[in-house]
Structure 1
Amino acid sequence: MPRPNAGTKGVPRIAREAQILDIASEHFGTHGFAATSLAAIADAAGISKPLIYNYFGSKDGLYQACLERSGTLVAAEIERIAGGDAVGVERGLQTLGGMFSLLEDRRHLWRLFFDTTAPSSGPIAESAAMHADRIGRVAAEGVGELMGLAGNDDPLDASAMTSVWLGIVDSLVSWWVDHPDQSAEQMTQRCRRLVTALFSAP
């Protein structure tokens, strides 16, 4: 008899779940929630569609699981860098570099956070909001530190700059996702050049 924790064809359940999440994240991140079918994911994973229902309950449940895993990865990397010694602009550059390194072989994960075809209410939206808040808190802390170094302690200025910074991160990572020929290292160096040009311009 099969072990209770075994997946299909002797594959442990935890390994099978990870495989499904890898494939589903790529499909969702590449094609979007609405255009992705569980049948396509099952076919790519070499499993039956009922197995996906057994593991994740529904298409929404599978997407939420992909979002949870991706959000945790991204937030953990940002928090890791925040716990280091870098401050100010250097901390921001290291954060960008960390994002590029983390996502280099799985850039599709970034699109999971901004899929307009995904449900805008319910557990998926709540999960997206939770991870956005987690990332936003770290961003606000870093921006507050940067503003403090510049002698500015105005909370509204810091709030506005946090929005600007989050927009910059999204824009740069999204641009990179659209340019798959650019490596993480190339993009990290590009960001340093952009910042240098910005602060050295007359």
Structure 2
Amino acid sequence: MHMARDRGVSTSRAGTKGVPRADREQQILLAACEVFGTEGYAATSVVTVADRAGISKPLIYQYFESKEGLFTAVIHFGGAILADEIERIARTDIVGLERGLQTLRGIFATLAPRPWLWRLFFDPSAPSSGPAAAEVAGYVSRITVLAEEGVAELMHLAGNDDALDISAMTAVWMSIVDALVTWWLDHLDQTADQMTDRCARLFLAVVAAEVPAGL
């Protein structure tokens, strides 16, 4: 399968009707991301993607060989967009809760023009094995490593370096991020800044709550 330059687009110059192949593949991937992310893998047809991209169905098979091959390239393309933004924030000097909030802000801002990207990685109808599943697992692992790093910093600042606590909190954090993004997908009138402010209020409410006596 041909993969795209930097984000899964081929570097070949041969295109169709004068369009460079790299540009044509990126055009297809952008259309496919939206269709797969909106309709789900099982309900998506190659014909629908071709129509959305304004190209022929045979061209998709020429570039990506199959529907699953196209979906694998889509995961590679979309996963890099999200993971690169999270890694960009991780490379800053921000730590603790601020890093968590800035990570959420980055996710919301990245998804704002393309909200369907998030659902690509949580599609129950997607292949559960093979190249596509491996691509999904790879990006989930990449993001989980970053989450573990951020959670470990946060826990250390709180004086807790217990490995199991860090593992448990990482699982909690990943679930929180998914829940917040999923909620936001149903409230897209909320901007990235508004969602970040809302998250800060929610987190502060939890932190301010008193621990019940006897625990």
Superposed pair shares fold, TM > 0.5: yes
Match of 1:89 among 81, 90, 97: 97
Match of 1:153 among 146, 161, 185: 161
Moved over 3 A (4+): none
Partner SS state of residue 132, structure 1? helix
Q: 1:130 Cα shift?
A: 0.7
Q: 1:5 Cα shift?
A: 2.2
> Which residue number corresponds to residue 114 of structure 1?
122
Partner SS state of residue 17, structure 2? helix
Q: Output the aligned Cα RMSD.
A: 1.1
Match of 1:183 among 170, 191, 194: 191
Aligned length: 199
Q: 1:201 Cα shift?
A: 3.3
Q: Residue type matched to 2:124 in 1? A: T
> Which residue number corresponds to residue 136 of structure 1?
144
Q: Residue type matched to 1:184 in 2? A: A
Q: 1:196 Cα shift?
A: 2.2
Q: Residue type matched to 2:37 in 1? A: G
1:26 aligns with 2:43: no
Which of the pair has the greater relative contact order for Cα pairs under 8 Å at 6+ separation?
1
Q: Percent identity at matched positions? A: 61
1:51 aligns with 2:59: yes
1:166 aligns with 2:152: no
**Structure 1 alignment gaps of length 5 or more:** none
Q: 1:6 Cα shift?
A: 3.2
Q: Could you tell me the TM-score, scaled by structure 2's length?
A: 0.89
Higher helix content, 1 or 2? 1
1:41 aligns with 2:49: yes
**Structure 2 alignment gaps of length 5 or more:** 1-11, 211-215
Q: Residue type matched to 2:39 in 1? A: H
Measured against aligned partners, the alpha-carbon deviations of 1:95-137 in whole angstroms (never above 9, x if no partner) come to 0001011110001000000000010001111111111111111
Q: Residue type matched to 2:38 in 1? A: T
Q: 1:180 Cα shift?
A: 1.9
Measured against aligned partners, the alpha-carbon deviations of 1:42-90 in whole angstroms (never above 9, x if no partner) come to 1121211000001111100111111011111111111111111111111
Q: Could you tell me the TM-score, scaled by structure 1's length?
A: 0.95
> Which residue number corresponds to residue 78 of structure 2?
70
Q: Residue type matched to 1:168 in 2? A: I
State the distance in 1 between where 2:16 and 2:98 align: 47
State the distance in 1 between where 2:205 and 2:27 align: 43
> Which residue number corresponds to residue 112 of structure 2?
104
